Amino acid sequence: MAVTNTRLNERVVRLDVHSCDVCGDDLNAVNSTEYERRTKIDIVFEKVVEHVDAQIKQCPTCDATVKARFPSDLDGPLQYGNGLKAYVINLLVCQMVALNRVQKCVTAMIDVTLSEASLLKFILRLHHALEPWEISAKAALLAMPAMNVDETSLRVDRRNHWIHVYSAGDITLKCLHRRRGIDAIDDIDIVPRYGGIIIHDCWASYFSYIHCGHALCGSHLLRELTFVVDSNGYAWAANMKRLLKETCIKVSKSRQKKLSANDYANLQKRFRNILTRGEKELPPIPPRPSGKRGKIAKSDAHNLWERLKDNEQAVWLFAKNSHVSFTNNRAERDLRMAKVKQKVSGCFRTQAYAQAYCRISSYLQTMANKGVNPLIAIQMALAENVTVGRE
């Protein structure tokens, strides 16, 4: 276990009863029946300065000057410890505090003003230290039976980039790429090597990978069905929405977290009957105008109906496989703070710090899922004493 700068200084003070408040009798010889405890928690700000003096000697035999070796973490005349680095990184990455405000916080605590360049070096130091962790996290994700995937935009150097997230178990991994589609997925190289089931929001690029299973997010389908019901009032959409909700509740209440073979067969019959009635309820698609090329414009209701019909197995995979969740909310939750970060800072000035944010926030979210304090987690990583499997 890494040595951290988090210490607990706990003491118990006992208050004795010497006399009775009512009659005044001496109670020193009377044993106590019980204790009532009240607790006060406080923080003591302590600046720890450690000087290391290396001896320098002159060899009488060869007249050489010999100096004692400094520890490996003392590369120069002045160094900052992992506790201070963890405090700064926690403010910058987890709490999303601006650089100049972090400077003021550090100055108030240790009466030393650190430059913005020094603060950013702490970020890059942790980014490089976490490279082995990221490699092992990818390997652990590839062994999972199901994985949530999603992507969201992020402004970097006034250009649009994309954060791709991969979440399974207690592991969260976010990767930055200039693009969103197949090129990005191939470069990140997780889905192309994955043989399990990916849960997503029906983004077409994911369906290009036929070697892995696919499951669609039920929350996205419910939102689209609600829109179709509110805008068009189609009965098939209302019935499909009701079927999705009923199946989700039934699966969540079942002990195996999936439907039996008989229940799943009945579900398929109800699903196909709703689609058959929906096809009759939808208006016919107008013929293609003469001389026009490309796809025929269809309504949102038509597109949703076709998507449900073409991806029947992906829609109901959560009812057949206990490893598949009904929604893709896990991936969306993991991406949410990246959007908050963008709102706070506007954008990242360089791609290097954007990549550092993705790797560090991935690690901290993973450790938070394990119940590890972020300050402890950062110090463990800086001390190069962390693995994916550590509890």
9 band by pLDDT with thresholds 50, 70 and 90: confident
Q: What's residue 58's pLDDT?
A: 92
Domain boundary among 81, 103, 126: 126
Statement: residue 342 has pLDDT above 80: yes
In a domain, 354, yes or no: no
Tens digit of pLDDT for each residue in 22-61? 888 998 888 888 989 999 888 888 888 999 999 999 999 8
Q: Are strands 171-177 and 159-168 parallel, antiparallel or unpaired?
A: antiparallel
Binning pLDDT at 50, 70 and 90, where does residue 298 land? confident
Domains of the chain: total: 2
Q: What is the residue range of 83's domain?
A: 56-126
Question: What's residue 388's pLDDT?
Answer: 66
Among 126, 142, 176, identify where a domain stops. 126
In this structure, is residue 183 part of a structural domain? no
CB atoms within 10 A of CB 55: 7
Task: Please indicate, yes or no, if residue 235 is contained in any of the structural domains.
Answer: yes
Q: Is residue 209 part of a domain?
A: no
**Average pLDDT for the chain:** 91
Q: Mind listing the pLDDT tens digit for each residue in 157-204? A: 889 999 999 999 999 999 999 999 999 999 999 999 999 999 999 999
CA distance 32 to 37: 14
**Could you tell me the pLDDT band of residue 291, with boundaries at 50, 70 and 90?**
low
Strands (E), 71-158: 146-156
Domain contains 132: no
**Which of 111, 126, 141 lies at the terminal end of a domain, its last residue?**
126
- The DSSP-derived string for 241-274 is HHHHHHHHHHHHHSTTSS--HHHHHHHHHHHHHH
pLDDT of residue 134: 96
pLDDT over threshold 90, residue 355: yes
- At residue 391, the pLDDT reads 44
* Backbone φ and ψ of 94, nearest 5°: -75, -50
**Residue 230 within any structural domain of the chain:** yes
Query: Which of the pair, 218 or 42, is modelled with greater confidence?
Result: 218
What confidence tier does 1 reach under pLDDT thresholds 50, 70, 90? very low
Digit-coded pLDDT (tens) for 144-160: 999 999 999 999 988 99
User: What is the rounded distance in angstroms from the CA atom of residue 110 to the CA atom of residue 99?
Assistant: 17
What type of residue is 366? T
> What pLDDT was estimated at residue 74?
86
Residue 140 burial (CB count, 10 A): 18
Q: In the predicted model, is pLDDT for residue 287 greater than 80? A: no
> 361-385: per-residue pLDDT in tens?
999 999 999 999 999 999 999 988 7
82 within domain boundaries: yes
Helices marked H in 112-259: 116-129, 131-142, 182-188, 218-232, 235-253
**What pTM, to 2 d.p., does this model score?**
0.86
Whether 135 maps to a domain, the answer reads no
